[in-house]
Each structure stands twice: as structure tokens, then as C-alpha cells.
Amino acid sequence: MSSTLAGWLQALALVGALALCYRPLGDYIAHLLTSAKHLRAERGLYKLVGVDGDADQRWPVYLRSVLAFSALSILFLYGLIRLQTHLLLSLGVPEMEAHQAWNTAVSFTTNTNWQSYSGESAMGHLVQMAGLAVQNFVSAAVGIAVVAALIRGFTRHRTDRVGNFWVDLTRICLRLLLPLSILFALVLVANGVVQNFHGFHDLATLGGDTQSIPGGPVASQEVIKELGTNGGGFFNANSAHPFENPNGFTNWLEVFLLLVISFSLPRTFGKMVGDHRQGYAIVAVMGLFWVASAALITFSEHQHAGTALQAAGGAMEGKEQRFGIAASSLFAASTTLTSTGAVDSFHDSYSAFGGGLTIFNMMLGEIAPGGTGSGLYGMLILAIVAVFVAGLMVGRTPEYLGKKLGGREMKFASLYILTTPALVLIGTGIAMALPGERAGMLNSGAHGFSEVLYAFTSASNNNGSAFAGITVNTPWYDTALGLCMAFGRFLPMVFVLALAGSLAQQQPVPASAGTLPTHKPLFVGLLSSVVLIVVGLTYFPALALGPIAEGLH
């Protein structure tokens, strides 16, 4: 069987598995976000931290809870990393520099999981488990909690309450992420992913040299890294490492895990607003972009320029022989369209247009399907913009799900859309203007620019993958990218929660003959066009200087 045919079969199997999970998983998430009952373990946690599980929060209180929890998470993880040489299971790894520890703490707390270090040589087992893996759970839960608050903004009327952050956070971790992680961690272990507390072992390589390779609790971190769209690898090679991703089945399973929750959340949205057709419209747009991206990246890699590469049927540089071009391209499209950042191939070695597509995927705002929670609230913001554009075209006040979209709502939506491009373009511009930072580029010309553009796009969109052709473990890059991660994560949440509060205060508007149906193919096409136009107008000049210029050279 050719690798191309195998790739298509994997993609079809993936679509089938996601379709089977869409309804039950989406309905289950809606149930846990709306249920009035608390589990005994949940009540115990609320009592321990002094939270009233039956209280409902105003959006500013919900926001302060999100920011306070995230700030404490950054401080805790930073301290854990800095002190790891004094902790159990440290494996004797050296102390991490302050600027790199800051970057790593912000990275994992913001669901970015950008790594300017080699996982196996910079982190002990305890920090991997108690620090990084824990943040993989809670940062993913924070994203789902924020989109839950936004959905409540659509479903509630004449109130300033959008839910309880602490209840949402606890339920998502205990009822959703933890059970699924335990189940699929066992599946990964059964298929060869490492799970132990071993230290370093010196092994002889095929070339006659010696290499030190550690064991560790890999499977338990691998599953939540994908399921929570996190992406930080236990090993430097990430999901290309055979201890993290041993074979074709685990590769397919990891792609499934990083997509399944985000693709099921539109069902949750439809369930909570009382119209499943709204969920189908949103997931249709997500699916269109995902399918198009996977197909285009696969095509680009098979059509790689060069006589020898064309004779070989494509470019295998930077790709695992175990997976081939099709499976690698599927992984690349899926990981850059979500906020995962896990990789099973080296994106820096992709063709100009193939690598450019991975950058463009992140520039979309990672909405197809995006990160856990963040993908859906990003798509809902763009849906609001699409409805507003349609309202301007027909000359009436736009409405979405019974809520009027006035100047206040559109200001929040506009600020959301402008935040990430500003971080990406300003950060890239400053880096290219500084001689010392340009010196860290291992490549010159258009590809070197693409490497810097990729870094700031990845950090600002909380993706975490990299072209890796630049030296980013410097005080300037660690600080700048850390700030992009923080602002790229929390500023949009401010606007989303403010929008949720504004919508919740409104009285519902009954649909009329002039109301735009937001569940039909016309709206799917309109929303898809808005996504492309907004992103294209914003980023096209930067893309023209990088991957497009390189591809046309």
C-alpha cells in the first residue's frame, strides 16, 4: 500500500472517529457545564479552597478568577522549575536560567507549551509530572471554562452572571479531562509508549557512539498534551520520538486526541443554546478549513521542487520514515490548526508553501477547530463579525441567536481580532530590526524571516510549535515570546468575557423575516469568507515577505 493511500485511509478513519464522538462527547460536555449537581469530590475541593459552588459570578469576577488562577499558576511553576535541582526525581539536571524558567512557566500556563529547551535534559520527572502535566490539565480547562461563559452570555437574559469559574474548572478537570486521560494513557502504554520512573540509560547507537536516554512518565503526559491541545514534548523530538509515538497507530491516535474535544465543542454550543443546527454550522466551517489545510500541505510536500525529490515522490527531509509524507502532513495541519504545537516532523524542513500553510493555519487564530475552548470562542467572535457584515449589507441592526450586536459588542469583537496580529507583526518587526536577534537566525533571506515570523505567530496564538531555525534561548527571545504568550492568551479572554457579560444583560430579540439564518449553508459560506478576508488582509504582506517569496523564488 502506498503512503499516499495509507494517508487518505488514515484521514477518512479520523473523520469517521471524530463524527462518532461529536454527539455523545459534545452532549456530555454540555451536561457537565449545566448540571446543578456537584460530585462529592467536587464539594470537598470547594470547601478546601473556600468556594461557594452554588454562587454565580458577574463577568468581571469571573475574569479576575481566571487571571488570579493563571498568575498563581505561573508563579508556582516558575518556582518549581527554579528549585528542581533540590527536588526528588531531578535526575541531576542543571538549574534552568531565570529567563528560560519564566518563558517555560508562562508557556505551559497559557496552553502554548513553547519549549526553548530539550525536555529530557532540562526537566526532572517531578517537574514534568507536578508542574508541566498539571498545567496541561488546568490550562486546557481554563479555555473551555471561558467559552462556557460566552455561551451563557447567549443563553441568559437580563442578568450580569455568566457562571462560576471555579466550578467550571473543577468539573472540566475531574469529569472530562482526567477520565479520558486515564483511558487513553492505558491505550498508549499498551502500544509501546514509555511510562516509568527510570533515569538515564547509556545505549550504544548504530554508529558506535553512546547516547544517554531517560525513561519517565511519558504516556501520562503525552495523552493530556494532545487531549488538552497543549503540545509540550517530554523529549526534544516531541511526537517524532519513538518513546512518545512508537508506531502508525499511536500517531493516528494522537492526531485524534488533539482534535476530538475541539471538534465536539460546537455540539456543546448547539446543545446549550437550544439549536443543534448552530453547532452544525460552526463545525462545518471548522471542518472545511481542516480538510483544505491537510490536503494542501500534503500536496505541497509531494510536489516539492527538485529533480531528485520529485523522482522520490516528495520531500522526506525532517519527516519520520515510520509515518511518511501523508501522515506527517496530517499531523502538521492538525497541530497548527489547534493550539497544540506537538509535532511528528520538522516544519522547518517543509517546502516553502507547505511550511507557509502551517504559519497561515496559526494566523487563522487556530479556529479550525482550534484549542480546547479557545477555538470555539474564536470562531464565535468571527461569527459575530460575519453577522455584523451581513447586517451592514442589508441595512438593519445585526442579531445573532436573539441578541443584538451593537457598538459595544462589536468593539469587544474588534479588539479580540486585532490583539494577536498586533503581537505577531510588532514582535516580528522588532526582532528583525535588532542586529543581535537577526544574528540568531540560522538562515538568511525569506526563509530566515519565515522562522522569526513563525516564532511570534506560534507564541502569540498559543500554539507552541516552531520552525526551530533560530536560537530562541536568549534573554531577549525568552522575554519577548513569553510576553506574546501572556498577552495573546489573556487579553482575548478579557474581551470574550466582557462580550459574554454584555450579551447576558440583553433582552432576547425574536427572530423576524429580516433575521439572517445562521444555520444554513449561506452563513457557512459567509463565515468562511470572513475568516479568509480578515486573516488575508492582516497577514498577507508578512506572508509575502516570507514563505510566498521563498516559494516563488
Going by DSSP bridges, is the β-strand pair 210-214/399-400 parallel, antiparallel, or unpaired? Answer: unpaired
Q: Could you give the angle at the alpha carbon of 252 between the alpha carbons of 343 and 246, nearest 5°?
A: 70
DSSP code, position 545? H
Give me the chain's average pLDDT, please.
91
Q: Confidence class of residue 501 from pLDDT cuts 50, 70 and 90?
A: very high
pLDDT in tens, 266-301: 999 999 999 999 999 999 999 999 999 999 999 988
Q: Confidence class of residue 91 from pLDDT cuts 50, 70 and 90?
A: confident
238: left (phi > 0), else alpha (psi -120 to 50), else beta? left
Residues 6+ apart with CB under 8 A from 54: none
Among 294, 296, 325, 326, which residue's Cα sits nearest to residue 309?
Answer: 325
Q: Confidence class of residue 5 from pLDDT cuts 50, 70 and 90?
A: confident
pLDDT in tens, 356-373: 999 999 999 889 999 999
Task: Provide the pLDDT for residue 310.
Answer: 54
Q: How far does Cα 20 stand from its chain's mean position?
A: 22
Helices (H) and strands (E) in the chain, counts: 22, 6
94: left (phi > 0), else alpha (psi -120 to 50), else beta? beta
Q: Which amino acid is at 545?
A: L
Give the whole-angstrom CA distance, residue 161 versus residue 298: 46
Q: Confidence class of residue 305 from pLDDT cuts 50, 70 and 90?
A: low
Q: Confidence class of residue 227 from pLDDT cuts 50, 70 and 90?
A: very high
Average pLDDT over residues 116-143: 91
pLDDT in tens, 398-455: 899 999 999 999 999 999 999 999 999 999 999 999 887 776 777 778 999 999 999 9
Does 341 have pLDDT greater than 80? yes
Residues 6+ apart with CB under 8 A from 90: 84, 124, 125, 126, 127
Task: Provide the pLDDT for residue 92.
Answer: 84
Q: Could you give the angle at the alpha carbon of 416 between the alpha carbons of 148 and 131, nearest 5°?
A: 60
Q: What is the dihedral of CA 23, 25, 31, 32, to 10 degrees?
A: -170
Q: Could you give the angle at the alpha carbon of 16 between the alpha carbons of 148 and 14, nearest 5°?
A: 85
Q: Confidence class of residue 304 from pLDDT cuts 50, 70 and 90?
A: low
Residues 6+ apart with CB under 8 A from 167: 38, 42, 46, 51, 53
DSSP code, position 240? G
Give the whole-angstrom CA distance, residue 213 versus residue 200: 5
Give the whole-angstrom CA distance, residue 426 versus residue 448: 17
